[in-house]
Amino acid sequence: MSTPLDSPDQGGIATLDRELEELLKEENIEPGDHERFSHYVKKDKILESAITGKPVRALCGKKWTPGRDPEKFPVCPTCKEIYESLQG
């Protein structure tokens, strides 16, 4: 019988380290005008990101970790267009 200490790749700290490493690889700050806008993201994803630090994906496809006041920036025109098309 094995214990978690006998096989560190099956959970625990090794898993957390691997997940963090994957997140850091995935989290790319995208250059361009995306940085100048606030983006539409599901509310539950914003809350999850605030708790876990995981990046979110906006309707327009931008992926980042929120950390600034969206009220200080204009709404992303692509996100707005997609949101309005979903409202019908």
Q: What is the pTM of this model?
A: 0.59
Query: Do the beta carbons of residue 29 and residue 65 sit within 8 Å?
Result: no
End-to-end CA distance of the chain: 58
Proportion of the chain above pLDDT 70, given as a percent: 61
pLDDT tens for residues 58-87? 999 999 888 888 899 999 999 999 999 988
